[in-house]
């Protein structure tokens, strides 16, 4: 199989046997199909009645989440569609499509128009949070150690130029959470002693901070994960499309120390004369949710690539062909793994299930 990129929002569709009891309501049995077809109803019973009368499926809005949509089918079954990434978010009483475009907010912060976790980023200045996420009344925030310049906004990216000499801080809004990149633009900038250890203040009221082999978690009183960050990576610009999988890369030592987030870039990596600058140092962060995706590569088996494949935002599958030459850079064979929140299916008989993805690129049609 050739190396292919697939859309990360691929959905699982499960058809389940109906467990709803149809009761009498405003739509009499045997009524003719409505002139204007209804696409949604507030509850399962009403949706099932409408679907039966009009001969087309109707969404049950009470079951809608950021990653799930449930439909009543005319034949008496129900269809649940699950996404591995948020596709909608609730604003007030309405659901809106995800839009990660970063804009200015009324309170002086900047953030995506519509994304899971209500991400707010600093509008610049001293003393404000660099990044703040909130979900279900819980909050996690980071503070940069010093004043921040006014960010340069472009699409889903806010760039804070020259937070250290020759270093930009780039914040990228995701559908859920964000990517935090320190972009070290030259070997000279990398020799700055301030890059030996970078400490960010942390504010997470009521949460316990935990470090585990480079993965970070903020836990509630029950031990449940509320906010998290996978293992961090740094990479150079040697790849044809620079990224953690297609370029030279190394692990980053990230941990919570005395209530701060400590990031320790690999100094040997930064000093390596073969490294091509700029060098990017993450970690990413995400709010709670039973959904995830990651890429693993046979040529770099010790490093999972969460929410990226080296060519964010596409997942990759298949073998990197020799015809691509240096582009492969040790990738080998790529596999993608997706996690879906399927708790809705508990105790429901599943009639059928399918996985739907879209291929957006392949080096050949074979």
**C-beta of residue 311 within 8 angstroms of C-beta of residue 241:** yes
Average of per-residue pLDDT across 45-70: 94
In order of 4, 241, 317, 325, 335, the CA distances from 320 in angstroms are 9, 14, 9, 9, 11
The pLDDT > 90 percentage for the chain reads 49
DSSP letter at 116 equals: B
Residue that wins the pLDDT comparison between 222 and 24: 222
Supply the pLDDT for residue 295.
Answer: 79
* pTM across the whole model: 0.85
**Confidence at 176, pLDDT banded by 50, 70, 90:** confident
Supply the pLDDT for residue 18.
Answer: 41
Task: Answer whether residue 253 shows pLDDT above 90.
Answer: yes
Q: Which residues of 316-350 are buried (b: 16+ CB within 10 A; e: fewer)?
A: bbbebeeeeeeebbebeebebebebbbeebeeeee
In sequence order, the 6+-apart residues with CB closer than 8 A to the CB of 151 are 110, 121, 122, 123, 124, 158, 159, 160, 171
Q: Which helix (H) or strand (E) holds 173?
A: strand 167-173
Q: Give 236: exposed, middle or buried? Use CB within 10 Å, 0-12, 13-18, 19+.
A: buried
Range in 20-29, 54-63, 212-221, 309-318 the model is least confident about:
20-29
Average of per-residue pLDDT across 76-88: 90
- Three-class SS string for 265-299? CCHHHHHCCCCCCCEEECCEEECCCCCEEEEEEHH
Task: Answer whether residue 81 shows pLDDT above 50.
Answer: yes
CA distance 117 to 100: 12
CA angle 312, 155, 248 (to 5 degrees): 30
Label the pairing between strands 40-41 and 58-60: parallel
Supply the pLDDT for residue 337.
Answer: 85
For 3-12, write each residue's pLDDT tens digit: 554 444 456 6
Task: Answer whether residue 155 shows pLDDT above 50.
Answer: yes
Q: Which of 356, 338, 333 lies closest to 4, judged by CA? A: 333
3-state secondary structure of 111: strand
CA distance 261 to 129: 13
DSSP 77-99: -EEEEEESS--EEEETTEEEE-E
For 87-137, write each residue's pLDDT tens digit: 999 998 999 999 999 999 999 999 999 998 899 999 999 988 999 999 878
Supply the pLDDT for residue 20.
Answer: 34
- The domains of the chain are located at 40-82, 97-288, 290-365
Range in 3-17, 143-157, 206-220, 293-307 the model is least confident about:
3-17
359 backbone dihedrals φ, ψ, rounded to 5°: -85, 125
**C-beta of residue 72 within 8 angstroms of C-beta of residue 50:** yes
Label the pairing between strands 284-285 and 333-339: unpaired
**Confidence at 23, pLDDT banded by 50, 70, 90:** very low
Helix ranges (DSSP H) in 171-247: 187-190
**What mean pLDDT, rounded, does the chain reach?**
84
For 205-251, write each residue's pLDDT tens digit: 999 999 887 789 899 999 988 888 888 889 999 877 777 777 888 88
Q: Which of 227, 360, 291, 286 lies closest to 86, judged by CA? A: 291
CA distance 236 to 76: 55
Supply the pLDDT for residue 83.
Answer: 87
Task: Answer whether residue 29 shows pLDDT above 60.
Answer: no
Sheet strand arrangement including 359-361 = 305-306, 292-297, 333-339, 315-319, 4-6, 359-361
Supply the pLDDT for residue 6.
Answer: 47
Residue that wins the pLDDT comparison between 343 and 73: 73
Range in 23-32, 244-253, 337-346, 356-365 the model is least confident about:
23-32
């Amino acid at each position: 199989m050739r190396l292919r990129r697939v859309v990360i929002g691929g959905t699982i569709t499960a058809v389940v046997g109906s467990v709803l009891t149809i009761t009498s309501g405003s739509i009499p049995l045997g009524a003719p199909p409505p002139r204007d077809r209804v696409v949604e109803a507030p509850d399962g019973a009403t949706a099932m009645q409408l679907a039966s009368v009009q001969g087309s499926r109707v969404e049950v809005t009470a079951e809608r989440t950021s990653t799930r949509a449930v439909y009543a089918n005319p034949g008496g079954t129900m269809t649940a569609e699950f996404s591995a990434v948020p596709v909608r978010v609730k604003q007030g009483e309405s659901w809106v499509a995800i839009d990660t475009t970063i804009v200015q907010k009324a309170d002086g912060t900047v953030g995506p128009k519509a994304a899971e976790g209500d991400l707010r980023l600093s509008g610049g200045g001293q003393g404000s949070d660099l990044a703040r996420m909130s979900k279900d009344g819980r909050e996690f925030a980071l503070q940069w150690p010093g004043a921040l310049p006014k960010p340069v906004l472009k699409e889903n990216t806010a760039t804070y130029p020259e937070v250290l000499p020759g270093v930009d801080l780039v914040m990228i809004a995701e559908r859920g959470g964000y990517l935090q990149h320190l972009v070290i633009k030259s070997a000279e900038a990398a020799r700055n002693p301030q890059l030996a250890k970078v400490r960010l203040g942390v504010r997470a009221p009521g949460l316990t901070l935990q470090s585990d082999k480079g993965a970070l978690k903020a836990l509630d009183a029950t031990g449940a994960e509320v906010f998290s960050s996978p293992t961090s990576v740094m990479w150079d610009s040697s790849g044809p499309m620079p990224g953690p999988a297609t370029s030279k890369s190394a692990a980053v030592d990230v941990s919570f120390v005395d209530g701060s987030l400590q990031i320790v870039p690999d100094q040997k990596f930064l000093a390596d004369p073969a490294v091509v600058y700029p060098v990017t140092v993450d970690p990413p962060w995400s709010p709670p949710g039973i959904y995830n995706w990651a890429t693993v590569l046979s040529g770099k088996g010790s490093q999972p690539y969460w929410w990226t494949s080296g060519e964010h935002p596409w997942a990759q599958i298949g073998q990197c062909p020799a015809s691509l030459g240096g582009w492969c850079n040790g990738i080998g064979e790529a596999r993608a793994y997706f996690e879906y929140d399927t708790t809705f299916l508990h105790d429901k008989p599943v009639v059928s299930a399918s996985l739907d993805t879209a291929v957006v690129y392949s080096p050949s049609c074979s």
